Amino acid sequence: MRVSVFGLGYVGAVTSGCFSSFGHSVVGVDPAEAKVALINQGKAPVIEKGLGETISDAVAKGRLRATRDARDAVLATDLSLICVGTPSKRNGDLDTSALKLVCAEIGSALVDKQSRHSVIVRSTVLPGTIRNVIIPELEKASGKKAGVDFGVGSNPEFLREGTALEDFFAPPKTVIGVEDDRTASELEALYGAIKAPLIRTSIEVAEMIKYSDNVWHAVKVAFANEIGVFCKSLSIDSHEVMDVFCKDTKLNLSSYYLKPGFSFGGSCLPKDVRALVHKARSLDLDLPLLGSVLPSNERQTSRGFEMIAQLGKRPVSILGMSFKAGTDDLRESPVLEIVERLIGKGYDVRIFDRNISLSKLVGANKDFLLRMIPHVSSLLVESLDDALSHGEIIVVGNGDAEFRTIGDRVRPDQFVVDLVRIKDHSRLKGNYNGISW
């Protein structure tokens, strides 16, 4: 393919060199004469292992050149990759000035281009940037229509300095956010030599994936550091602790617990977070990440209650009261917290949970329930049908398989507040609200 890369900084230089090594014809574009000159001399404009040799080889074979002329680059290629910087403003927002400038240049060149061209953003941009900044700038400068006269998409990069070429050639995933099949086919062909899962999604999801990745990496660093601070204060080897921690790939280093949903509860997580944070305070340690976990969890419970309350004081049926499906453990169940708030506000509440039987509950579990809701026996119903017939608001409280397919059983006049993401929620349309989707 014929590709132009706008921005010859870290991402753009690596992208230019690596794509040219696949045999693509690449034109790099940058306003800095020094960068353009280095590329054309077969030298890397940034320090990165293996990049100098890659660029030297590509230039020698005539697959890579650089220019300051944006119009020349657009007219000579079929697809443009935008790799310019998006630094922070003083208030933390993204500075999109370089993006706008490049879009104006590309758009102006598109005025004179008869064949179709695609513009793909590899720069890290907040969700909505392509829709609200990139496309309007391109359309204004070109007088053409995105998705009709030219393609637009998102293709976030996942490169780490020091291992960028390895990351480019063997990425964990390749993400393309596009809305038309032609642009998708172009990007699939561009990445054809890379053996990695290629994921096609919406533009906004592609934009958000990069932020989810980077913020998660930041959270992991902060978590490990706070565990380290805690361990050091007790003369515990934090590296040994985390070495053992990382051996667990079933829960610790896995996709488990990484789906948005309702608050955590049960007899372990709240208690153990609370105990560790309390111990840290007693040691005069400031652990802001760990200290924010319970407040964040409690805020999610409040969101669930607010979703119900905004529908007005209608009869409410709760499906599932234990903190997760397949258990009768009610200790610190966030659903139980919502039930208590609803009763306190005068709502007419009924609860169905096949795993909850007052006659079988014992010990701390039963004591916790009766302390929270002394008259709970009058709220329990015996069947899912009873619950569905009572409530004008149906709250799906845990992931029991019985609750996940109620979409065809809900009446048109009923509202569903979903805390777990039931499978058939798309059937419910306007009367459905998920807590994080």
Nearest to 156 by CA among 201, 125, 119, 130: 125
Nearest to 154 by CA among 200, 112, 100: 200
Please indicate if the annotation marks 260 as binding a ligand: yes
Burial of 316 (0-12, 13-18, 19+ CB in 10 A): buried
Q: How many CA atoms lie within 13 A of 320 on its CB side?
A: 24
Please indicate if the annotation marks 124 as binding a ligand: yes
Q: What value, to the nearest 5°, has the Cα angle with vertex 326 and ends 423 and 372?
A: 105
DSSP classification of residue 87: P
Three-class SS state of 211: helix
Please indicate if the annotation marks 271 as binding a ligand: yes
Residue 18 is a catalytic residue:
no
Longest CA–CA separation in the chain, Å = 82
Got the DSSP string for 115-149? S-EEEEE-S---TTHIIIIIHHHHHHHH---BTTT
Please indicate if the annotation marks 257 as binding a ligand: yes
Please indicate if the annotation marks 210 as binding a ligand: yes
Task: Write the CA distances from 48 to 80, 139, 163, 341, integer angstroms.
Answer: 23, 36, 8, 57
Please indicate if the annotation marks 30 as binding a ligand: yes
Please indicate if the annotation marks 153 as binding a ligand: no
Please indicate if the annotation marks 324 as binding a ligand: yes
Please indicate if the annotation marks 258 as binding a ligand: yes
Contact 365, 328 (CB under 8 A): yes
Burial of 60 (0-12, 13-18, 19+ CB in 10 A): exposed
Q: How many CB atoms lie within 10 A of CB 274?
A: 13
Please indicate if the annotation marks 265 as binding a ligand: yes
Please indicate if the annotation marks 350 as binding a ligand: no
Please indicate if the annotation marks 15 as binding a ligand: no
Please indicate if the annotation marks 49 as binding a ligand: no
Measured in whole angstroms, the distance separating CA 244 from the mean position of its chain's CA atoms is: 28
Please indicate if the annotation marks 259 as binding a ligand: yes
- List Cβ<8 Å contacts ≥24 apart for 52-57: 54/17, 54/18, 54/20, 54/21, 54/165, 55/13, 55/16, 55/17, 55/20, 57/21
Please indicate if the annotation marks 182 as binding a ligand: no
Q: Which of 83, 103, 231, 268 is catalytic?
A: 268
Q: Can you name the residues that pair with 350 across neighbouring β-strands?
A: 317
Contact 334, 262 (CB under 8 A): yes
Q: Would you list which residues are annotated within the binding site for NAD(+)?
A: 30, 35, 86, 124, 161, 271, 331
* Known binding residues for substrate: 158-161, 210, 257-261, 265, 324
| Binding residue numbers | 30, 35, 86, 124, 158-161, 210, 257-261, 265, 271, 324, 331
| Active site residues per annotation | 268
